[in-house]
Structure 1
Amino acid sequence: MNAFLTARLRRVIRRHQWRQLSYRLAVVWAIAAAVGLVVLMVQAQFGWSSLYSFPAVAALAACGAMLAVRRSVQERPNTRAIAHTIETAYPELRGLLLTAVEQLEADDGGEGSYLRYRVLQQAVDHCQETGNWRAAVPRLRVRTADLVHGAALVLFVGTFWVGRENWRKAGGGVGATMFAARGLTVSPGDTTLERGESLVVLARFGGALPAGVELVVNDGSGPARTISLVKSLADPVFGGTVPDVATDFVYCIDTKGERSRDFKVTVFEYPRLVRSDAELVFPGYTALPPRRIEDTRRVSAVEGTQLSVTFQLNKPVATAKLVARGKEKTEIPLAVVDGKAVATLSGFALTVTQSYDVKLTDAEGRENKSAPPLVVEVLPNRTPELKLISPRGDVRPSALEEIAFEGTVWDDFGVPAYGLAYTVAGQETKVIELGRTVAAKVKQPFAQLVRLEELKVKPDDLVSWYLWADDIGPDGLVRRTTTDMFFAEVRPFEEIFRESQEMQGEPPEGQAGSGEQTKKLAELQKQIIAATWKLVRTPGSGTFGADVTVVTQSQAQALQQAEAEAEKATGPRGQALWAAVIKNMENAKGQLELAAKSPEALKAALTAEQAAYQALLKLQARETSVTKSRNRSQGGDNQGDQRELDGLDLDQSENRYETKRQANSPPSPERREQNQVLNRLQELSRRQQDVNERLKELQTALEAARTAQEKEEVRRQLKRLQDEQKQMVADMDEVRQRMDRPENQSAMQEQREQLDRTRAEAQKAADAAGKGEVSQALAAGTRAQRDLQQMRDELRKSSSSEFSEDLKEMRNEARDLAREQEDISKKIAGLDDPKRKTLGEAPEKDAALNQLAEQQKRMSELIDKATQLSEQAENSEPLLSRQLYDSVRRIAQDDGKAVKDTRQELLEQGNLTRSFNERLKEAEKREGSGKALELTKDLLQQGLLPQAGQAGRRAAAGIDELRKGVERAVENVLGDDGEALKLARSELEQVTDQLTRELAQGQPGEGQRGAGEPKTPTTDAPGQPGEGRQASTEPNPNGTPSSEATGGQPDGQPGDRRGQTQGDRGTREGQRSLAGGGGGGERGEARGADRLEELLRGDRRPGAPGAGYGGPITGDDFGAWADRLRDVEELVDQPALRDAVANARERARLMRQEFKRDLKKPDWAVVRLQVLQPLLEVRKRLGEELARRDSKDALVPIDRDPVPGRYSESVRRYYEELGK
């Protein structure tokens, strides 16, 4: 009985112990798994790795499990606790089992009492009835414990499975020790990196430092690379760089067999535009085929063109759009295809010129770092260009003359028909068709003869004409374009001109007779006709209403003057004519008032205005009093009168007092555009030549490369050349857009076509460089460079005058020759100095002889060139030819006289040998130039240093006279280059000021130095106060502050400016009197005439608000800033200065390019050194050159030399203190 009960209790105890063991083991596995996860986190976060980290955790887990099992095995079962558990599960026992357990524990081996037997019997019976007390430790609890144990075990095994690779890598070397003992930390660990960037790896040790540390890189494409890490001074840090990361890779730290775990580097890319190909579908009226432009970001096309662009990207993107630059920020979505690195813009109609930014966003939300621009320039469908070559302006023919019309017609897309229309006042307009079907972009000449006799015109009749041409407008309909209206005033067969007996500068106001007032009124009426005709031609302009009001007011003023003059009329003919004038003017005024609402009334107004003008012509006097005036341009509105006056032979002699010379007018916009295009073509040619030279070097290097590393370096350099070539293609597109501007379209048609071919060659060079085909890239680049140079030469030749280039070159050669001769004379004088005689005279003497020989050769070439140019210019430029001939003849005479005088001096001094005398006689008889230089060389060879010095000075004087003669001849054709230098200096002042302000913004605290880099004061030409320059407070090089004002004159006579101002004011008042009538007119009338003149000139346009300041390097005005530097290059003739400006501009362009590409501010110290300082030096040199050219009569300081560099800062501070 005892044994049976004990066996049943043991079953319950075993189930209880198994459940406890399961929970204990679950706790052990869970703790071990948690420790393993912590180790994994530490490794991932800090890069720490150890060979024994996971084995240690596993060992600890095993020990914990063993302890749990051992405890369960060795633990003595608590029978009473189990009985209590059974009693709890079975309450009906009511302590029976506990009593039985106590009886068992008190068993002494005897049979015991009946009570004991009954207790045990009942306990056994209950056990049998309840199934061995299974409810005390239910099977569900046991299984739950088993599940918890299993889960913990799985977690533990899973943790070790995750860390198995790190543990294996950490234990890769045999006998490896623990990096944890050294406290290794690797930065950046696992990371992401942009493609093409460099990865910097730092390994920091907290304990003992290893002898050497290496970085092992494996990208899976080949064997692992090893990079030695360098220790950082005293810090326990080793560092190294993985350059130009292109693909994903893993890396680890290796210290002579001890290796860290592998770290992974994931490479990503920002979305980026690789290339964009544009396709243009032109409107039907252009008759142009579709055009495809590869790899471009600039598009020029006529309005209405359909633009399609394919954007090749470096990776697929989620969204792409074009964002317009400006206030509105209009967005144009681009179509993207999933999985393809392409975005497209299809069928975009071009209406306005706009610049867009290409915005890209990839699937990860990354945007392109810098948005590349897409510049779309929409060209208007221009009206035909009609140029009337003959007659020029209004004419005054007789009734029997013939008017020969000659001109040209040009249109960008062709002209269906063109012709001439003329009207005899009071008759119907006759339209003559001169031709049909002019091809696009072809300048078609035409000629037509109109016989006035066949028109049966009479003296004082008015004939008006204009040219017309039809073309197809943007709406596809035919539109007609007309020119300004010109007039032929039929003059009488007899006109009387009487010469006045007094000579004066200007006729006194208030002394003009009635005939003069009638003439002025007629001139005003003609201006009203021209303004009305302009309104007829442009009825849809935005200022139409205001312009009609101006013309109406002017007609009302003319009517008032006519009424005033009509009251003075005495004869019946005059009264009748004035009545007709007033009637027609009133009719014209009424029609103009109606035209404000109905533009059709303008034609009726125009007819009435012409009738009034014809009546005024009949009122003009037939007898004219003529006074010779110095101001030839006075009253120059009537060209016909001026031509007739020029043909008169007056008794009074010409006033030969010299008048003030005016500065040359600035170049026209057309000429400036040509200069800008020329400069850009020259720059592109030079850059292409540089690229070609580098391609040749790379071709040689590629052939000589043996190792893979050398070939990779060549490919890397080739990639940079490809980028440079692509930038040149983009710059060619910019030049192409400039050529497409209206002012350049007709003048640069051939150059545009040639530039398109050149661009194709440059594109081939870029594509070949990208493929690594160096020879093909070099061949295409060479062709592009040759075409660019040829294009520039042809354009310069066509845009310059016949002899301008040769004259500029000859002037520079003459100046160089004079400067060189001055230096030679100083050297010869130094050789003759007794204090300097040394044993080293021979080399200096030989150098002087060589220089004289070179001077003689250059002198002969210059004389030959001047002679040849004089002969060529004999017919076209007779004044130039005569001046060059006189200069050449004078230098020949001076050479002969120098030889003769030197021969006589040598004879008197007794230094003339027989052989030398014969040579001098032969030199006198010999034709040619350079005799004085040859004589100097011979005397120097003979050792006659004083005589050689004298001969050298004579030669220098002759060369200087030649220089002056050449400069005078060149001035007659090109003008005085002094004005060009002043303009160049003024431009440089503004350019450097812009750059200095940007430097001040980029370097706080440096801005006060400002153009201050003019610490070296500018050497402005003093004594030139009134030359149109801005006032300057900078100190002059002589140490005195310049006081440039606008009140003086170049000759130092400030009063002249006042006289000129008064004269100009008088001239303006005389012009205003056309509207104001006789004795000066009223202010309102003058204002009305001015507004009418503005309307005729086309100056009525809204004023543009001033643009805010933007730095040239980092702002938006780099293009305009660079254009001004190009203007300076064209204005300066000295090659050294031009090269300095060009180099500074090129450095600025490269800095701007780097800023736009990398979005990093430039190094302002480098900007100051490489851009600003060279420009300031050029400005200083220009000031010195202008100071040397100043008039000798001007009031200038005695010392013209610039302040030496080492004293310039002290001088600047001195004047700053004075200013305080």
Structure 2
Amino acid sequence: MSEQRAQLSALLGRVRTRWRLLVALRAWAHAAAAACLVLALALLAHRLIVPEGIALILLWSVAGVGALTCLAAVIPPIQRAPRDLQLARFIEEQCPDLDDVLVTAVGEEASGSDPVAVAVVDEALRRVRGIDRSRIVSDAALRRSGLMAGAAVSALLILAAFSAGPAGQAARLFGIYLSPDRLALSVSPGDVRIRGGDSLRVVAKVSSIGALVPVMSVSEGPEWRQTPMEAVPEGFAVAFEKVERGFRYSVSAAGTATREYTVTVVRPPHVERIDLRYEYPPAFRMPARKEEDGGDIYGPAGTRVQVTVHTDRPVARAALNLTGRQPLALELRDTVLEGELIIAEDGSYRVALTDADGLSNPGDTEYFIRTLQDRPPDVRIIRPASDRQVTPVEEVSIEASVEDDFGVAALDLVYAIGAGPEKVLPFQRDGLSTAVLGRRTVYLEDMAVRPGDVVAYYARARDVSQGKRSTEARSDMFFLEVTPFEQELVASQSQGAGGGGALGNLEDLAQRQKDIVTATWNLDRRGREAGGRSDEDIRAVDRAQRDVRAGALAALAQLRGASDLRRRPVAGQVASDAMLEATGRAAEAMARAHLQLQALNTSDALPHEMAALNELLRAQAEVRRREVQQQANGAGGRVANRQKQDFSSLFDRELARQQQTNYETSDRPETRRESSEDSDAIEKIRELTRRQDALNRRQQELAKNRANMPADQLRRELERLTREQGELRRQAEELARQLQQRAEARGRQGGDSGNQATRELQQISEDMQGAASELRRENPQEASARGNRAAERLRDLERRMRGAQPDDRRRAVGEMQLESRQLADAQRRLTDDPAAASGGDDRADRSRRLAAAQERLAERTERLEQGVRQLARTAQDADPREQSALQDAVREIGEQRPSQRMRSAARAEQQQPGAKPEGENIARVLDRLADRLGAAGGLSEDSERLTEKLARVRQLREDLTDLDEQLSELRGRAGDSTGAARGRSGQPGSGEQGSGVQEGDAREPWQTARDLLNELRNESRLESLVPEANGFDPGRSAPGTEAWKQDFARWDELKLQVGVALERAERDTADQLRDQQSRDRLNAGATQTVPEAYRRLVEKYYRALASGSDKK
């Protein structure tokens, strides 16, 4: 029995051994895998975070403890062994066919020699011996567990090998923290003096290598900031790219820190300012000139230049390092260095400085030395800046400016009347020898001109002689068109009748001929220069002259036909027609000019072109004269064909004249003197703005075209722009000094505004200086930006100064009102331009001209809008009525946006030539704006009432004109369809359809006429002027609705009578408004009006002068 039990125990022991081997292998695999995970995470953190110091120690301490804990977890499963009963049940679970015999046998093991127990044990042994051990603990499971355990242990060994380095570093670092005396730390360069702007590199070396990274602490004041040092081959380092300020620093590592080191920044001496004094050669006869805060040297060869350099501190040595020449030593006087050089050729120089500490500055800035060539003078007409229409007794003030490199010897005004000889008048000069401003007043009465003459004029300048012949330059040519004195009366009494088409054709021909004269003049002027002649351009002008001559011949034929139809035998009538003769002479002069242009002879072609222009203007004046005569005789033509002139031009002239001579209140002499000084300052600011804007445009053009310019030309243009910008800066500084002196003389009253203007001018001078510096750096784009900023500040300053005083503000309001009226007139003329409606091959060209003119009007309107807004902002101290009127004007601008609408009209004209513009609506907006400004200027209630009445009458006239155009179109369609309709009278329905005119088309104009006449009846002020309107009803006059059945006879008669009545109402209202405005203006309590008899005598006198008759 005991033997059987021993065999059973041995069998269970073998099974237990295989089971414990399987459990041990699995436990080792799991423990090794867990340890691998811990080490892998530690390595990943070490790679990503790169811990240093305490962090490194903590990371690998946690990793080591975690890995050991995972490995220690394998011991309990290995030590735990199952009991025999548990093992028997395990075997029974793996081999169910034992039927619990083994469990029973193990349980009966303690029963002794009981036969039943012995039988059970024997049966269990028999069955167990027949079972394969792999059924209980399979060999595959053992192999699989062995492989897993081997792989896990291998991975653990590999990770342990990778972790050995970081873990060792952590261990050594831990040892250093335990014993700091083991660490040796050295820093270089320690205390150091460094030149400002240089780089600095601080290197630290530690005796222990590994994960110990020193930290550098830097202090530029009371606070410290820490920066880890980077590992380099020689240790650890921190680099400073550019040191501008001194600082303190120290290095620490593992609880050990060095002492504080100091970095001291030292700077070499540098140049603060360079002053130049030019002494020109005696042949130039130019005074010495001093330039402060400059550097670049510009002058003719042989000029002696004294260079004065101001430094920030005393220096030991200084010299001018000249390009291609020996250095020029400078004389030392504390912080002022002086030297002298002579301009011989183009070059450059640098200022080299060395101080007592040995710090040297070789010169960061290179200054140019440029030899200026004697270029021709630059002469321009600045006022008037465009062609003008004048009367035969008018006085015209002409201003011209000229600039030259070395001096202006002469500045003359050259003029010619028509094709007559040129005459020379010297300008009254003002300004420096190199920049001269000339003024001259031309008295047309002394020239014996007559209506239709044209006076062409230009400015001619000659520079100083420098051992050679003086160079002469000419400005652009401008024209004074002499118009009849009666033109003003026509504009104020009616809008012209008859001859409108002839006048429009002649105006177009005169404008085109004027363009030809200007082009020929420019070509002739350019041809006088070397290489400036262009034969192709002359041929293009010749082609244009042929076209204008063809137009003149066509106009002549048209005028002759119209003259034959109009001519009636009247007693005393002169058979000759001056208008036809003038047009014929113009065509003949054009033919002669064409022959000269064919020969490429511009000088000889100019007199003939001028003669043609003069004759065209005389013919145009004859047309206007005939219009005056027709209106005086009451023989006006169709209202729809009249020239749309109105009272605005007369009002503008009257307003401008009163603003130039009258004052709102009487002033003391001191007040008038201060006002004159302020006006003079405002005028100077305006002139600075104009010149700065012109300079900005030239800079922008240079920036745009510099890629295509030769290097020499680019350099010369940059030098010229730099010199002009410097001159503007000097003038701005001089004006600032003058304003400062005036503010000090006035004391506290007015001193604050003067000081503010001085400060703003100083800022503007700084902007100009910046623009000049950018030009020296050859950066015209940035220079233009700075110049634009200076120009905007100048404009703001001008607006503030104009709005500071009530008189100036009222004067500004008057000028804006005048500008608004002129813009409205110009918009109406542009809308009614006959060229806009004409066809032919040149329609696109005319559309481009109209679009360009519309764009120019938009620019003027935009400037007007800006001025009104600025004036409204500065009128805080004005009376409430003036403020309210200005705010209404600003609101009108914001709601109507006239400048934007003008630009939209210009774009529409370019995209769709001949499109119907909204010019009349824009003109009405500008008229309303002028009325608002008039209210701001102090109009009385009666003046406002008359202004509204005048606007109402004008609106009625415009409605009448629009209605007549609609009825004229309806009449034309009726004439076209009458024959067809009557020819088909036997075919009911077809004639009506064939006429092409719908019933609504014929009814709508008549309904409009009915509404207009009803409106005239309801207008109480016009009821007595239009008695004819009461007996007219278009519904009864027209027997049918078809176009060919309409009766136009009564409408033509009524239209003429209503038009004359409206003209009379407009004239009377305008006279009342003018008288009321004269009464509104006060001067020391006296009225501005004059006796009516005296006014009529003055008008009669000027008419006699204009017509050339004897004065009685």
TM-score between both structures, scaled by the size of structure 2: 0.35
Say which structure is richer in helix.
2
